[in-house]
Amino acid sequence: MAMSWTLGSVSLSGMMITLSLLLSPMALASNKKVEMPRQACSPDVSTWQDEQSHHTQHFVPVADNVTLEVLDWGGSGRPLVLLAGLGNTAHVFDSIAPRLSSNFHVYGITRRGFGASSVPKTGYTADRLAKDVIAAINALGLQRPIIAGHSIAGEELSEIGMEFPGRVAGLIYLDAAQTYAIYDPTRGAYLPDISQLTSQIAGMHDDPLNAQKMTALLDDVSILKHSLGDEIAAIKTDDASVAGALGSGPSNSEKASFAAFRCFISKQLGGTFPEDEVRQGFTSNATGGVGEQKAPAFVYNAILKGEERLHAPDVPILAIVPVPRVPDLPVGSDPAKREAAEEMHTRMQEAQIVTLKRQQPSAEVVRIPHGSHYIFLSNQSEVVAAIETFGDKLR
């Protein structure tokens, strides 16, 4: 059986797609240039002890029998809290956090289900995950921090901004202003629509002849039909674009150590991936190489099931968007089909920007051409500059 490591999440016409680097037989590839030069990565040099030396680790209670890992990189200025994408932990920010600490006191929170945080059986809805973040902020005694979130963390940002607007100074979406975070009712979004429809159906059992509920259910069925059609079309376009792709999975030597596997991942993403984060996602096998994925599958599924219809909150917002974005999928043999898929994803990104600006006209958008989904790795200098500029305006 092939092992996989979830690297994050992106929105595909409303559906949150989990990205995996397959240890066999195929890995992510790109045919676009990443603008930021990569740091040197040596498969013979381990970096995780140095990465760990720049932060301290704490654990804070957020609910009964649930504690979250918090990393503290220190620094001065307003607190800045970093939230990782699906499958990642706060350690994914090990390279950018020290740079941000020049202007902020930087913290990272690992959500429940991953890394060193608790792995309860329940509590993975967007609402509960957002409340976990607020509980951690309370435990740390932080006053109106800026919260930055990557990928699926966008849903936590929107929930926090909607439910606790007075608790934050601003929100930063790192390729996170996707449909699971900012819902457009005119286009719909597959997974949030399913969640809504499931809730509507459950309510019908209690009052099956209520005409108002029947009408609402019919409306939601119509929305789901539209978003599901868009989803199927997008999947077909992506499938066509990867047809004929050559396998490019890591070699045995690249799987033999965490340092070597870190270099393989970094090459795929276009930015240097922290070895410390690799170790959070995998066990070590008997020979010191990359072992099994740590996070159980039910956690991923529960987070997907917990997506909601959220909107852009009425707080200061910065969205950093890689558009056009480096392809997330393997490069197929037909350039025209690959180009069609890339154009589709660019249209989707631009549509989300339009939705954000319509819902929150004051939101700031920074476009970074040809960055990766891990924009804070592939274009770190640009991201640091954008965050610092945004933070200065809030002071």
- What's the pLDDT score for residue 52? 86
- Rounded to an integer, what distance in angstroms lies between the CA atom of residue 321 and that of residue 361? 16
- What's the pLDDT score for residue 20? 41
Count how many domains the chain has: 1
- What's the pLDDT score for residue 206? 84
- What's the pLDDT score for residue 38? 44
Among 26, 55, 48, residue whose Cα is nearest residue 257: 48
Query: Residue 179 falls within a domain, yes or no?
Result: yes
- What's the pLDDT score for residue 264? 87
- What's the pLDDT score for residue 108? 98
- Rounded to an integer, what distance in angstroms lies between the CA atom of residue 126 and that of residue 227? 20
Who's near 141: CB < 8 A, 6+ residues apart? none
Residue 257 contacts residue 43 (beta carbons within 8 Å): yes
- Rounded to an integer, what distance in angstroms lies between the CA atom of residue 151 and that of residue 178? 8
Query: Residue 110 falls within a domain, yes or no?
Result: yes
For residue 324 the two structure tokens come to: 């056009």
**The domain containing residue 10 runs over which residues?**
4-184+249-394
| Pairing state between β 146-150 and 170-174 | parallel
For residue 231 the two structure tokens come to: 């989803």
- Rounded to an integer, what distance in angstroms lies between the CA atom of residue 286 and that of residue 349? 43
Query: Residue 231 falls within a domain, yes or no?
Result: no
What's the pTM value of the predicted model, to 2 decimals?
A: 0.90
- What's the pLDDT score for residue 67? 98
Grouping H, G, I as helix, E, B as strand and the rest as coil, residue 168 is coil
H or E segment and range at residue 201: helix 190-206
Query: Residue 192 falls within a domain, yes or no?
Result: no
Residue 79 contacts residue 143 (beta carbons within 8 Å): yes
Who's near 97: CB < 8 A, 6+ residues apart? 54, 55, 71, 73, 82, 106, 108
Query: Residue 237 falls within a domain, yes or no?
Result: no
Query: Residue 281 falls within a domain, yes or no?
Result: yes
pLDDT under 70: residue ranges of the chain? 1-40, 247-248
Grouping H, G, I as helix, E, B as strand and the rest as coil, residue 1 is coil
* CATH number for 22: 3.40.50.1820
Query: Residue 234 falls within a domain, yes or no?
Result: no
- Rounded to an integer, what distance in angstroms lies between the CA atom of residue 166 and that of residue 160? 9
Who's near 391: CB < 8 A, 6+ residues apart? 77, 78, 80, 103, 104, 146, 170
Residue 110 contacts residue 117 (beta carbons within 8 Å): yes
- What's the pLDDT score for residue 177? 97
- Can you say how many angstroms the Cα of residue 226 is from the centroid of all Cα atoms in its chain? 25
Handedness of CA 304, 305, 311, 315 (dihedral sign): negative
Query: Residue 217 falls within a domain, yes or no?
Result: no
- What's the pLDDT score for residue 130? 98
- Identity of residue 288: G
Among 307, 313, 298, 299, residue whose Cα is nearest residue 125: 307
